Amino acid sequence: MPVKHLRIDNRLIHGQVTATWVQSIGANHILVVNDQVARDPIQKVLLPKAARGVKTSVLSVEEAVAYVQDPSHEKDSILMVVKLPSDALRVLEGGVRPAQVNVGNQAPTPGTDYKMVTKSIAVTAADTEIYKSIAAKGFTVTAQMLPTDSKLDLLELIRKKGF
């Protein structure tokens, strides 16, 4: 499969993605994946502009799975950026097999019972179950803001916070 990296980042496309991750993994196409974002005509215009010239598609989870599984895209080198852990799990359940699964940023959702496991990753009990489900599919879920940062085992960080 052409997905080199699956990044869970609620900010979607920003400087870290376009300036460092794309280059680090050699991506030539960014897939932004979230059902709600894919239905927003403004986001569908703005997110590709934020990608600084890198080919970008804004897709629902279902559309992204179909895109990746289409044999005509097997030469693509894809950085898939999903907004939520649940998006990542659904993509994986659809059969996408990225080389890496990484959490970059998950801001706390107001009104939820969350714990900060890093400076940039808030986790709830429900998120914890999703990350465990991702790991049960054979993936190591890392916490890593930039490619030059050390990869940290997200589930270990979550365990240390008592989830």
Structure confidence at residue 79 (pLDDT) = 96
Identify whether the C-beta of residue 57 lies closer than 8 Å to the C-beta of residue 67: yes
Residue in the structure block whose two tokens are 């659904």: 90
Structure confidence at residue 1 (pLDDT) = 61
Structure confidence at residue 56 (pLDDT) = 96
**Residue 2: CB partners within 8 Å, gap ≥ 6?**
68, 73, 74, 75, 76, 77, 78
Identify whether the C-beta of residue 128 lies closer than 8 Å to the C-beta of residue 115: no
Identify whether the C-beta of residue 44 lies closer than 8 Å to the C-beta of residue 57: no
Structure confidence at residue 16 (pLDDT) = 76
Q: What pLDDT tens digit does each residue of the chain (163 aa) get?
A: 689 999 999 999 988 788 899 999 999 999 999 999 999 999 999 999 999 889 999 999 999 999 999 999 989 999 999 999 999 999 999 999 999 999 999 999 999 999 999 999 999 999 999 999 999 999 999 999 999 999 999 999 999 998 8
Amino acid found at 100: Q
Nearest Cα residue to 93 out of 67, 130, 125: 130
pTM of the model: 0.95
Burial tier of 29 (Cβ tally within 10 Å: 0-12, 13-18, 19+): buried
Structural domains in the chain? 3-160 (3.40.35.10)
Structure confidence at residue 163 (pLDDT) = 84
